Chains A and B, each alone.
Chain A
Amino acid sequence: MSEWFSVFKRGLSVDNPLTVLMIGLCATLAVSTKFEGAFFMGLAVIFVLTMSAILVSFLRHVVPEKVRIPVFIVIIASFVTIVDLMMKAFLPTVYDFLGVWIPLIVVNCIILGRAEAFSYHKPVKLAIADGLGMGIGFSAVIVVLASIRELLGSGQIVFLGTKIIGFPAWYKGPNIVLLFPGAFIIFGFMVAGAMALNRRMSARQVQTSQRCTIEEGGGS
């Protein structure tokens, strides 16, 4: 079980797809103007990532290596079509906002990349952990980015028609935050923050492991 959790945790911290691996950026920057859109985008990615990880890992002894990429793409495309049609039916306003980004989940590098690098070689249980971890890591970053942009840009966060949090009415948000340059610049600062955090964590780990080896060395 501890292996399960360590795989799960990697997606959130040291292997975070967005801030560390830098894959799947397009969707992140584009849909992060609204908290609501980012939230459902995150859910869609978690669903597609986990389900395709399960199926790829389940079929890993059946699928020959030469045709694996087309098989992965077909698996992913079917799950994306499910999400596409479901969202169109039940959440039409969100679907209008996300638009092209739902079909484009097919070519989101995170999903194909994890299928190729992880699920194709690992048992189903670990593939679930990896899919969930990567998916939640992705969603966390995209939701934080969207909250910053929506709060600063339009002065309030609206979720499914209800206002959650907002600045007083006199606040006029700078428009650039909601436009494309704002996404790049704010994400740049977020990446800097995440890198600093990761550096700090790894430095602490090195320190503790050094202390352990010294103590062990002293003991023997």
Chain B
Amino acid sequence: MEIFQHFALLLIGGALVNNILLTRFIGLCPFFGVSSSMETSFGMAGAVVFVMTLASSATWVFYNVLLEPLGVGEFLYIPAFILVIAALVQFVEMYLKKASPGLYRSLGIFLPLITTNCAVLATATEAVKPGFFKMNMAYGFGFGEALVYTVGVALGFGFALMSFAALRDRLEVAPVPNAMKGTPMAFVTAGLLSLGYIGLGSWFGL
């Protein structure tokens, strides 16, 4: 039971309380870039859940099997992780193109974008390097914990992205002052949304 609680807290903590977009500002480029329509943000969310889970598992294994025993993890993790992620995304893209063209068509254009999305690199680093982010959670994740945490973060990313896309849809027709039209208003809206997420943090007492 205790272990179940631990994993549930990791999942909720990653998804809502420490939402990667709205309370930590990681991965904001797609947040403002693709959120202008519901359809693209759904595609992006799907692609992020998919790639982030794979990338974190791959980098976790890579770090603990190769970098850490060799003693080079401290200064080689940045180039190593980004290369692992880039290679992984490339393989996934080629595999999807061959194996399931339908999924490839819906996720395809977002996959290359994700390579340079800081959310993927940040989550991979966070799942691997203990104490990397200063948060009130225990670190030194095992593989299962890293996986659950990553899935939580990815789901939180998707949820925030899609709720913001829905808000922006409504904003299109709202009477906004001329000077604030477009991106400035989107930023203010994101600020209000992020207020809500901060409220969640105190609600869970974390």
Q: Spell out A's residues near B (CB within 8 Å).
A: 22-27, 29-30, 69-70, 73-74, 77-78, 80-81, 84-85, 99-100, 103-104, 106-109, 112, 176, 179-185, 187-189, 191-192, 195-196
For B116, give the chain A residue with the smallest CB separation: A107
Query: A192 vs B181: C-alpha distance in the bound complex, in angstroms?
Result: 8
Can you list 25 A-B contacts (CB < 8 A)?
A22-B32, A22-B183, A24-B29, A26-B27, A29-B25, A30-B25, A73-B79, A73-B83, A74-B83, A77-B82, A103-B78, A106-B79, A107-B82, A109-B29, A109-B116, A176-B195, A180-B22, A180-B25, A180-B198, A183-B191, A184-B194, A191-B187, A195-B183, A195-B184, A196-B179
Query: A203 vs B53: C-alpha distance in the bound complex, in angstroms?
Result: 49
Q: Do A185 and B187 touch across chains, with their CB atoms under 8 A apart?
A: yes
Q: Do B133 and A99 touch across chains, with their CB atoms under 8 A apart?
A: yes
Query: A146 vs B57: C-alpha distance in the bound complex, in angstroms?
Result: 36
For A176, give the chain B residue with the smallest CB separation: B195
Q: 5 tightest CB-CB pairs across the interface, nearest first? A: A188-B187, A184-B191, A192-B184, A185-B191, A77-B79
Assuming A78-B79, A100-B122, A181-B192, is B184 touching A191 (CB within 8 A)? yes
Which of A80, A84, A85, A181 counts the most B-chain CB atoms under 10 A from its CB? A181
Q: Could you say which interface size class chain B belongs to?
A: 35 or more
Nearest-neighbour CB distance to chain A for B195, whole angstroms, equals 4
Q: Do A107 and B195 touch across chains, with their CB atoms under 8 A apart?
A: no
List B contacts of A180 (CB < 8 A): 22-25, 191, 194, 197-198
List B contacts of A189 (CB < 8 A): 184, 188
Q: Do A25 and B28 touch across chains, with their CB atoms under 8 A apart?
A: yes
A-B contact count (CB 8 A): 122
**A interface: dominant SS:** helix
List B contacts of A191 (CB < 8 A): 183-184, 187
Q: Do B28 and A77 touch across chains, with their CB atoms under 8 A apart?
A: no
Write out, one digit per residue, whether chain B residues 64-87 have a CB within 8 A of any chain A CB (1) or not (0): 000000000001011100110010
Q: Is B180 interfacial (CB 8 A cutoff)?
A: yes
Contact residue among B79, B118, B182, B188 (Cβ-Cβ distance under 8 Å from A104):
B118
Contact residue among A78, A107, A184 (Cβ-Cβ distance under 8 Å from B187):
A184
Q: Spell out B's residues near A (CB within 8 Å).
A: 22-29, 32-33, 75, 77-79, 82-83, 86, 115-118, 121-122, 125-126, 132-134, 179-180, 182-188, 190-192, 194-195, 197-198
For B29, give the chain A residue with the smallest CB separation: A109
For B185, give the chain A residue with the smallest CB separation: A188
Assuming A107-B82, A181-B191, A184-B187, is B32 touching A26 (CB within 8 A)? no
Assuming A100-B132, A180-B23, is B75 touching A85 (CB within 8 A)? yes
Query: A22 vs B32: C-alpha distance in the bound complex, in angstroms?
Result: 8
Given contacts A104-B118, A107-B121, 16 further A-B contacts (CB under 8 A): A22-B29, A22-B33, A26-B28, A29-B25, A70-B86, A84-B75, A84-B78, A85-B75, A106-B79, A109-B116, A182-B191, A184-B187, A185-B187, A188-B186, A191-B183, A192-B184
